[in-house]
Amino acid sequence: MPKKQEQRNNHQNAKMSNPISPEKIFKSYDIRGIYPDEINEENIVPIVRAIYKFFLQSSGSSTPLKIVIGRDMRLSSPILFEKASETLVEIGANVIDIGLTSTPTFYFAVLNYGYDGGFQISASHNPKEYNGLKIVRKTDKGILKIGKSTGMEDVKKMALEGVDFGDVQKGSITKHEGILADEVKNALKIAGNPEIKKFKVVADSANAMGALYIEELFKNIPGDLIKMNFDLDGTFPVHQPDPLQFETLKDLQKRVIDEGADLGLAPDGDGDRIYFIDEKGEIILPSSIIGLVSREILKTNPGSKIIIDLKYTFTPKKTAENFGGEIVVSKTGHAYITEAMHKNCGYFAGEASGHYYWSATGGAESPMPVILMILSIMTRENKPLSLLAKEVRSSHESGEINFKVQNAEEIMEKIKEHYEDGEFSDLDGIAVTYPNWRFSLRSSNTEPLLRLNIETHLSEDVEKKKKELVEVIEKHAVFEDLPK
């Protein structure tokens, strides 16, 4: 038997033969691991077969599906993209190749053109050695992210056990171009085609995928765009593409001040998160952005439901209370947020990590309408972002405090007992609310960490409550490492 045919047959074998078990790479929100130790061109084959089988079962279709594949700029993405495409063709799928793209543009492509589903090859903000797959399928309600509660366990089981497609006719590969231009038009429509002044904006894309949509957006609106690290480079030569690590924002903050700019933008590695820097070079917390966008929405769409995660709730809740909206609190993570949007008919959603979602994008993340709305508010009210953010802010936040522990569940039970006089929620880990402060404590879905977030109405209470909670956690913790 020819060697290539033998390899193809091995790839189509029902069982995974590679010695590296991929079980640990199936996360609550996506598939993610280190290349090539945990995810590689060998084990991506049974994973892709499982994903396509899941799509077929979910759709109830007996005809070939149209599956979108996009990829980021990571060094391992081209080979994973190639093997994924080959695999889908072998099992009869019609592949829609959208090439190098941000994750929001990938979501837009699936929904806007009526494709059946797909996956983006990316590891988001993770370091350069990682890669993975973000999976979505189209439903009658919009985009459904495949996660722990929406099918990831089924995909995992089929990937590990193998699936048989029998004799099928080979599929095809079609390139789809021009998607980004359509996405910009859609973002302008969502934002109400606003009037925008010519602001000076500095953007640091960290050599990652956000560069694509930011550059295209500013071709269509007034503005002086100053680009930092816009050359796509999967080695991330300047800094990791993770704006949640505030040290990665220092160069951008300085550049905003040096340029006398009105605004700074910092997307993450695959472009589905974005952070804003004000004209003073200060980081604007996502809860303030959620508050500003919610206020804008509720002025013209009173009664709308806004979905948030439970890390920081005071500012969004106060905005909704003042402008006639309704807040729905969800678990953290795209799959959970989108599920909550569909269930509650949410108009807009935002997370404390800088993710923003819209009903108009099928419940998928889309930073561009947020950028447009912020610029629109700045234009209409003729106020700098620092002042606008201050208008909606009603709390002070600790930032996330992480603990690498072996006994997360035990710690959360002890914390629950210690703060039993507060208003308790176990929606996602535990959250306890008092009249003037609150906190949440949850296990990370992507890393082996226990995450603590605290917010207070008085600024001086943040450090006080942080010290108090850290002492209680450390008293009961069995550390794998020191808290950081």
The residues that are catalytic are 124
Residue with tokens 């004209």: 279
Dig out the tokens for 244 from the structure.
Answer: 């949640």
* Beta strands 94-100; 66-71: pairing state: parallel
How many other CB atoms are there within 10 angstroms of residue 375's CB atom? Answer: 24
Instruction: Tell me how far apart the alpha carbons of residues 459 and 281 are, in angstroms, rounded to a whole number.
Output: 20
Instruction: Tell me how far apart the alpha carbons of residues 42 and 210 are, in angstroms, rounded to a whole number.
Output: 29
Quick check: 246 and 286 in contact, CB under 8 A? no
Handedness of CA 37, 39, 41, 46 (dihedral sign): positive
Dig out the tokens for 264 from the structure.
Answer: 């700074």
Q: Which residue type does 393 have?
A: R
Dig out the tokens for 80 from the structure.
Answer: 């994973």
Cα-to-chain-centroid distance, residue 51: 20
Q: Which residue type does 338 have?
A: T
